[in-house]
Amino acid sequence: MKNILETLINASEKAACVARSCCAGSKNEVLLVAEKFDGDANARFERDFKTIADVLAQEAAKTEIARHFPELSEHVRGEECSEIGGVRIELRENIEGTTDLLQYLVAPAVAKRMAEAAHRDTEHTFCDNLPDIPEIDISDVGIWIDPIDATAEFIAGVQGHADADRGLPCVTVLIGAYLRSTGEPIVGVINQPFYNNGKGRVVWGINYKGAHVSGGNDIPDTNESNVILMSSAEKPDVADKFKQAGWEVKSAPGAGHKLLKVAIGEATAYIMSQGTTFRWDTCAPHSILQAKGGDLISFSTKSPITYNDEMHMEPQHYSNKDGIIAFTDMATIEKIKKILDN
């Protein structure tokens, strides 16, 4: 039987396959894009969208998790609801069944390609050399999924409109496990589907009962100091404090993309002072940061973010409403606190 780490890596790779399948056809194919409204939309954007890929990727990941751990199926949740364009998306028994369902929304060739991706066998993509991990009590586990983080970059990339340094490489799949009893993050997987021209990359971490283990493929041997990442929507006075302290302030799209850069040492920290990230953005990276000796805390209160929120609430209920600070070592957070207090 697969352990929870292997299962979450496989689930992330199912979602990654769905995301990549949207880039395989001709540029003239239409990506089904639906606008999010009211409670579903992120205030970060003037207009917020989801695609059929977001919804299918989430269903593919959920199905994979429930296949290995049926007892978890009631405790797996994600950013998206399963409905798009009036159709409830699910993985049917086989490729043909899923193709039939997707054909209500997209052309037959596209439906078939997406269904094939959702059903692809991903068992050996990233799981062949994983170390042993501590035994985890599944009866206390809950899961958060962001099936495609940086959807705006995903849409621009698929449609060929993305600027350099943006677009598909900024897309990540984020799957994190937490303890239902305490809300603590315990296992995290960040999958970057379009890394290295679609070869893909996975970074993972475990933080469970004192055990800290992390790994992944193609992790650079870098450890930047005094480099802080911020959203292009960050308030200028926050950035100014760090510039005055001699830090390099960099902007990059995608909350998951920025958290990945911190986790692999390409940046020292990431700050977002407002509530534009959500539990599904931070649960997976949070476990990885803790596995590496860091943490992810609230920007305003400096208290730890937890993930065992009540089920089935409106999306805004799950926002990291007081902002976030993400970092990989405790010396960094002390420096950051001093800079912010100035």
Residues in binding site for Mg(2+): 79, 146, 148-149, 281
Q: Quote the least distance from Cβ 276 to ligand 2IP, whole Å.
A: 4
What is the contact mask toward Ca ion in residues 290 to 329, using x (rule: CB under 5 A)?
Answer: ----------------------------------------
Nearest approach, Cβ of residue 241 and Ca ion (Å): 26
Select from ligand 2IP, Ca ion, none the partner in contact with residue 254, using the beta carbon and a kind-dependent cut-off of 5 to 8 Å. Answer: ligand 2IP
Q: Does 80 bind ligand 2IP (CB under 6 A)?
A: no
Copy the structure tokens of residue 94: 């086989």
Token pair in block for residue 307 = 């993930």
Please say whether the beta carbons of 61 and 175 come within 8 A. Answer: yes
Q: Are 186 and 206 in contact (CB under 8 A)?
A: yes
- Which residues in the 74-93 window bind Ca ion by CB under 5 A? 79
43 touching ligand 2IP, by CB under 6 A: no
Backbone torsions φ then ψ of 210, nearest 5 degrees: 85, -10
Alpha-carbon gap, residue 118 to 59, rounded angstroms: 9
Distance, in Å, from the CA atom of 59 to the CA atom of 79, rounded to the nearest integer, reads: 11
- Asked if 149 touches ligand 2IP (CB under 6 A), the answer is yes
Binding mask 248-287 for Ca ion (x = CB under 5 A): ---------------------------------x------
Residue 238 contacts residue 228 (beta carbons within 8 Å): no
* Angle, alpha carbons 334-335-340 (nearest 5°): 100
Out of 16, 227, 239, 255, point to the residue binding ligand 2IP (CB under 6 A): 255
By CB under 5 A, residue 59 contacts Ca ion? no
Spatial CA neighbour of 329 closest among 262, 278, 273: 262
Q: Looking at beta carbons only, is 145 or 179 nearer to ligand 2IP?
A: 145
- 328 is in the binding site of which of Ca ion, ligand 2IP, none (Cβ under 5 to 8 A by kind)? none
Q: Which string of DSSP letters, residue by residue, matches 236-284?
A: HHHHHHHHHTTPEEEE-S-HHHHHHHHHTTSSSEEEE-SS--BHHHHHH
List of residues contacting ligand 2IP (CB under 6 A): 42, 44, 79, 146, 149-151, 231-233, 253-256, 276-278, 281
**Interface with Ca ion (CB under 5 A):** 79, 146, 148-149, 281
